[in-house]
């Protein structure tokens, strides 16, 4: 396999992963980002803990999807992550939460 074939394969795998993400993102309530992974989840429990003066995060996710091009099974029932690095948790806006104004109802600017 040439370097170009390998690059094309990796690009196609990443595109397939993005398409899967786009198809499943509306099934989840939260986006969670750690230093190693990106997750979608419906339940997130994040606890800051300390041991020997060091602070770490104990993260538990339920009903999750893992952004990982090399995983064959990206849907996971339970995930537990212990990390000393930052954790970012964002609640996703559901499409029914978004109110789009009707034509001509944007108001005036300026």
pLDDT score, position 22: 94
pLDDT score, position 71: 87
**SS3 labels along 42-92:** EEEEEEEEEECCEEEEEEEEEEEEEECCCCCCCEEEEEEEEECCCCEEEEC
List the chain domain ranges: 3-92
Condensed to tens digits (0 to 9), the pLDDT of residues 3-23 reads 888 888 889 999 999 999 999
Residues 35 and 94: their CA atoms lie apart, in Å, by: 26
Condensed to tens digits (0 to 9), the pLDDT of residues 55-105 reads 999 999 999 999 998 888 999 999 999 999 999 999 998 766 555 566 655
The model's confidence at residue 106, banded by pLDDT at 50, 70 and 90, is: low
pTM strictly above 0.85: no
pLDDT score, position 7: 87
- Residue 47's contacts (CB-CB under 8 Å, 6 or more residues apart) are 57, 58, 59
């Amino acid at each position: 396999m040439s370097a170009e074939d390998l690059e094309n394969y990796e690009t196609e795998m990443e595109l397939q992963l993005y398409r899967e993400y786009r198809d499943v993102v509306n099934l989840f309530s939260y986006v969670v980002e750690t230093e190693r992974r990106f997750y979608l989840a419906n339940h997130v429990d994040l606890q800051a803990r300390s041991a020997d003066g060091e602070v770490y995060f104990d993260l538990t996710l339920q009903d999750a999807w893992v952004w990982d091009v090399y995983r064959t099974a990206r849907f996971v029932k339970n995930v537990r992550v212990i990390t000393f690095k930052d954790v970012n948790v964002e609640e996703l806006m559901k499409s029914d939460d978004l109110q789009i104004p009707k034509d001509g109802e944007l108001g005036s600017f300026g």
